[in-house]
Structure 1
Amino acid sequence: MDQFNSKGSYLSKIERKEVPILEFDNTVPAVIEPSKETARIEIPEHAVVCFFSEVIDKLKNDGKVKLIINLKTEMGAHPLYEVEYLDKKMVVFHPGVGAPLAAALLEEVIALGCNKFIACGSAGVLNKEMAVGHIIVPDSAIRDEGTSYHYIKPGREVEASTEGVQAIKRVLEKHKCNYIIGKTWTTDAIYRETPEKVKLRKEEGCLSVEMEASAFFAVSEFRKVIFAQLLYGGDDVSCEEWNSRRDVSRKEIREKLFWYAAEACLGL
Structure 2
Amino acid sequence: MGIIPCEIPLLEFDPEQTAVIGPDYEQLDLHLPRKCVFAFLGGYIDRYAHAVGARQVAAFNSATKLYPIYVTTYHGQEVALCQAPVGAAAAAQLLDWLISYGVREIISAGSCGVLTPFDEGTFLVPCKALRDEGTSYHYAPPSRYMEISEPARQAIEQTILAHHMRYQEVVTWSTDGFFRETKEKVAYRKSEGCSVVEMECSALAACAAFRSATWGMLLYTADSLADVQRYDQRHWGGSAYEYALTLCLDAVLAL
Say yes or no: TM over 0.5.
Answer: yes
Paired residue for 1:227, among 186, 201, 215?
215
1:89 maps to which residue? 78
Distance in 2 (CA, whole Å) between partners of 1:182 and 1:231 is 10
Distance in 2 (CA, whole Å) between partners of 1:40 and 1:183 is 39
1:78 maps to which residue? 67
**Cα offset for 1:53?**
2.6
Task: Specify every segment of 5 or more residues in structure 2 that has no aligned partner in the other structure, as ranges.
Answer: none
Residue identity opposite 2:248 in structure 1 = A
**Cα offset for 1:59?**
1.5
Distance in 2 (CA, whole Å) between partners of 1:33 and 1:138 is 29
1:138 maps to which residue? 126
**Cα offset for 1:249?**
6.6
Q: Secondary structure at the match of 1:191?
A: helix
Is the Cα–Cα contact under 8 Å of residues 13 and 138 in structure 2 kept in the other structure?
Answer: yes
Mapping 1:249-260, distance limit 5 Å: 250-251=238-239, 253-260=240-247
2:106 maps to which residue? 117
Mapping 1:101-112, distance limit 5 Å: 101-112=90-101
**Cα offset for 1:193?**
0.4
Residue identity opposite 1:122 in structure 2 = S
Report the CA distance shift for 1:57/1:27 in structure 2 as closer, same or farther (over 3 A): closer
Aligned length: 253
1:9 maps to which residue? none
Paired residue for 1:159, among 137, 140, 147?
147
Q: Secondary structure at the match of 1:140?
A: strand
1:200 aligns with 2:165: no
Is the Cα–Cα contact under 8 Å of residues 121 and 237 in structure 2 kept in the other structure?
Answer: no
Q: Which of the two has higher C-alpha Rg?
A: 1
Task: Specify every segment of 5 or more residues in structure 1 that has no aligned partner in the other structure, as ranges.
Answer: 1-12
Is the Cα–Cα contact under 8 Å of residues 185 and 209 in structure 1 kept in the other structure?
Answer: yes
Q: Return 49-58 or 234-243, whichever deviates more.
A: 49-58
Q: Return 235-244 or 132-141, whichever deviates more.
A: 235-244
Report the CA distance shift for 1:224/1:40 in structure 2 as closer, same or farther (over 3 A): farther
Residue identity opposite 1:166 in structure 2 = Q
Distance in 1 (CA, whole Å) between partners of 2:27 and 2:127 is 30
Q: Secondary structure at the match of 1:220?
A: helix
**Cα offset for 1:210?**
0.4
1:210 maps to which residue? 198
Distance in 2 (CA, whole Å) between partners of 1:217 and 1:164 is 11
Is the Cα–Cα contact under 8 Å of residues 221 and 237 in structure 2 kept in the other structure?
Answer: no
Q: Return 151-160 or 59-68, whichever deviates more.
A: 59-68
- TM-score computed with the length of structure 2 as normaliser: 0.94
Report the CA distance shift for 1:40/1:169 in structure 2 as closer, same or farther (over 3 A): farther
Moved runs in structure 1, 4+ residues, more than 4 A? Answer: none
**Cα offset for 1:160?**
0.9
1:56-114 C-alpha deviation (Å, 9 max, x unpaired):
23214424311010111211311100122111110010121100000000010000100
Is the Cα–Cα contact under 8 Å of residues 52 and 254 in structure 1 kept in the other structure?
Answer: yes
Distance in 2 (CA, whole Å) between partners of 1:31 and 1:185 is 31
Distance in 1 (CA, whole Å) between partners of 2:139 and 2:251 is 26
Is the Cα–Cα contact under 8 Å of residues 52 and 121 in structure 1 kept in the other structure?
Answer: yes
Report the CA distance shift for 1:60/1:225 in structure 2 as closer, same or farther (over 3 A): closer
Residue identity opposite 2:232 in structure 1 = N
- TM-score computed with the length of structure 1 as normaliser: 0.90
Distance in 2 (CA, whole Å) between partners of 1:41 and 1:58 is 23
1:21 maps to which residue? 10
